[in-house]
Every structure is written in C-alpha cells, then in structure tokens.
Structure 1
Amino acid sequence: MFNKVIVSEDFDSINIAVVQALEALCIPQIQYAKYCDDTYLKIKKAQAENDPFELLITDLSYKADHRESTLNSGEELIAAVKKIQPNIKTIIYSIEDKSYRIKSLFDTLGIDGYILKGRNSIPELQKAIQSIYTSDEKILSSELSHVLKDKSLLEIETYDIELLKLLSEGLIQEEIAIQFKNSGIVPNGSSSIEKRIGKLKIYFKANNNVHLVAMAKDLGLV
C-alpha cells in the first residue's frame, strides 16, 4: 500500500472523511491542504527532501476567498505537480460529472483515477486507491465507466469546441466567421461553418442548434 499520500480539498468535512478513509487503509503518512498552492509546496518540499508523496488526491474546484493563489484548480495543481514529479499517482475526487472534461483529464494530465463525490463514494475511493497501487489500470466511478469508452468523445476537435462555445454565447454563423478570422482559425468561411454545424448536429443527433448546444453542455464540451 502507499506509504505517503497528500489530500488537497478546501472543505474540512471532506478532508476529514478522506483522511479517515486513508487511515482505514493503514497508510502511515497522510497530509492535507486546503489550497492548491500549499499542496504544491508540500509536494515540492517532499521531493527536494527525497521523501516524495506517492499519491495525490485532489478536488477539481476550489472556492475563491480573500487569499491570492497561483494555482486555482485541481487541474492546474496536477499539471504543475507533474512537471516536478511526473510519476506521482493522481486521483481526482470531485462532483464534476461532465464526460468530455473527465476524459480530457485522463488524456492530457494522465490521471490515474476519477471518483465522483456522493453518498457512497468513500468506499469507492478506497477501492480506487487499492487498485491504483497494485496496477496501472485507469479507475473510474461505476456511474462514469462509459467515459473512456465513448467513441464520440474521441473525434471532437479543438475547432469544434470553439465553434460550440461561440454558439453557446448566442453568436450567429456570420459572427462566428468574423471571430474565427480575427483569431486565425480555419476554415472560417460562413459556408464552412454552416457545414461543420450540420455535421455536429448529425453526429450528436441534435434537432437544432439549441439542442446541439444543450448536448455539448451535458458532455462538458462548453
């Protein structure tokens, strides 16, 4: 089992519950922090002292307060930590359930597990920790098991996401074309954008643009 684990979570009640779950697994060294910056500094210090943390468990979202922070999300925290300790195991423990965002965390940050917070999530978190310790398998909450298998999420490009984002902001095709031209995004002709929107509607089986945007939001694309 892991010997040294750090938990990053801004709510005391959740921090306590996660720490108790780790103690039940007989993990000898457990630390926690309420801010991403503090978590990062603890990990950096442990690394410098040749006594690194083996596992980071972090939330995705942190409530802003009076304190200025350099790292403001679990995503930013993991990205920063991976630069100084690429081999650290990482689990995200969050209420965020948007499929595309979750998949992108596995693809871009190489996280090892994603557990959805809920009434019975602590036992699932414990199982995830045990599985990640013994294997390289990527672990997901049972209700999110489809995320890494959803082929529709594999074929969405950055261009599509930007297009959907502008549609969600209420821009019409001509306005999107101007935005794309100003940003150097191609293709940026109105007809090309119209065709792309048509393909997206077919792809997601959306009845119209409003339905398309709603589906994109459900997936966490925008």
Structure 2
Amino acid sequence: MSDKLKLLLVDDHQLIIEGITSYLKDIDGLKITTTNSCDEAYRLIKSSLAIDPFHILFTDLSFDVGKKNVAIDGGESLIKALQKDKVPIKIGVITGHSETNRVFNVVKNLKPLAYILKGQCNTVELNFAIQKMMSDQVYYTHDIHEKLMKRTLVEIQMDDVAIQILKELPNHTKISNLEGEITKPDGSLVKIRTIESKLAKLRTDFNANNNTDLVLKAKELGVLD
C-alpha cells in the first residue's frame, strides 16, 4: 500500500487535466491519477478498494459524452454512484459551474467536501482544500461560499406569500393585477397593500433597484426558474 494520498482527477478536457495536475504536482505526498471518463473513474475507484484505495476524488460536473455509450454520464452521476455503493472516498468538485441554483443543489443533495472553481484554482487553494477534506471538513471557493450564504439567507427570509409574489410578478404588467392571485396559508386572499409591502421588503432583501431587477436577481439565486 502506498504511503501517499491517492488522488483521482476526472475531467473530459485534457488541457484542464494538465493544468490542474500541474498545481497538484507541487503538493507533497500525492499520488495522482487522471482520467477523462466517469465510467473509467468508477472502475478505477472500485477496483482499487481492496488493495490500495483512492483517498480523494476531484471531478467536474458536466461531461461532453456525445454519442458515446456510457453508464455514468457526468460528475453528479459519478458521485451518486459512489455514494450509493458507500465507497469510502473524499469527494470534491472542480468545475466551471457557478450558477447559484446548480451550486446550491449540488451542495445540498450530494454534499461534496469541496467545491472549487476552475478559474480560481491554484496550488495553494488545492492544498488547503485537500487538508480540509482529509479532516472531513468542507472547503468552498470564496465565490461559492458567498453564493451559498446569500441563497441561504434569502431562503430564511422567504415565506409562502413572498414566493407566490415572485412567481406571479413576471406574469403581470401592473402590481394591482396581483390582487386576487396571492393567497395566505389559510386560503384567504392577500390585499394589495400587503403585496406592495412584501415587494418593497423583497427589493431590499435582494438589493434590487426595481421589480424587473428583483425578478432577474431571484432567477440568478435560483428562487425562480
């Protein structure tokens, strides 16, 4: 068995693999393996379990598989497969996906120990992330951490009436048209004055200049589709 930490890096772009590997090679104590295929990554991880298992997996989320006949078509599917099999490996994401809703869903549902953006990836950050992961602590790139904090804060501040208002807002040219469309939990209708008050608070919470800006920012945070 190797004394080094075995790390598997998975990405479908060879130039990305080479770039990240160049950073990883400056970190002492790593034995690095790379592959462009999630199917191959799964096979490597499973086949090594009994003798010399991998300690860390870094994977992208989206893979361009084209018309290839693959069983595992991307990083999210790979993570799910490993978690389903209860494989004891520390999982981190290195990706270009920074859309708040995508980030939120990946972190919430898959719970990777690290979420790192490719454009901000370097030796120092990777080294720090690996140390955190091996201690079962999470590490998120600063931008990702901020997005998650903001999304969580917004969710805490939201109630059912606010969510209804945001969803209905793009469908009406006048705020007054919302009256009769928004209901309280008990089924009673929300008055226009309450709707206007809620909208003012939402604009403040989202730091929006107007209702159009509010809708755009709600979409950016993944509150609206």
**TM-score (ref. length: structure 2):** 0.69
Structure 2, unpaired ranges of 5+: 173-179
Structure 2 Cα separation of the partners of residues 121 and 220 of structure 1: 28
Letter in 1 for 2:149: K
**Counterpart in 1 of 2:145?**
145
**Among residues 31, 34, 45, which one is paired with 2:33 in the alignment?**
31
Matches within 5 A, 1:1-222: 3-47=5-49, 49-118=50-119, 121-133=122-134, 135-150=135-150, 151-152=152-153, 154-155=155-156, 172=171, 191-192=182-183, 204=206, 207-208=210-211, 210-221=212-223, 222=225
Count of residue pairs brought into register by the alignment: 199
Structure 1, unpaired ranges of 5+: 174-188
Question: Are residues 105 and 190 of structure 1, via their aligned partners in 2, closer, same or farther at CA, if it must alter by over 3 Å?
Answer: same
Contact 1:100 1:153 in 2 (8 A): no
Contact 1:43 1:52 in 2 (8 A): yes
Contact 2:101 2:220 in 1 (8 A): no
Query: Once the 2 structures are TM-superposed, how far is the Cα of residue 130 of structure 1 from its aligned partner?
Result: 2.5
Contact 2:10 2:37 in 1 (8 A): yes
Query: Once the 2 structures are TM-superposed, how far is the Cα of residue 163 of structure 1 from its aligned partner?
Result: 7.9
Matched position secondary structure for 1:13: helix
What is the alpha-carbon root mean square deviation over aligned residues? 3.6
Structure 1 Cα separation of the partners of residues 182 and 164 of structure 2: 13
Structure 2 Cα separation of the partners of residues 167 and 123 of structure 1: 46
Structure 2 Cα separation of the partners of residues 34 and 211 of structure 1: 40
Deviations 1:151-185 (A, max 9, x none): 3354499x99x989x879x8x59xxxxxxxxxxxx
Contact 1:82 1:88 in 2 (8 A): no
Query: Once the 2 structures are TM-superposed, how far is the Cα of residue 204 of structure 1 from its aligned partner?
Result: 3.9
Answer with 1 or 2: which has the greater Rg. 2
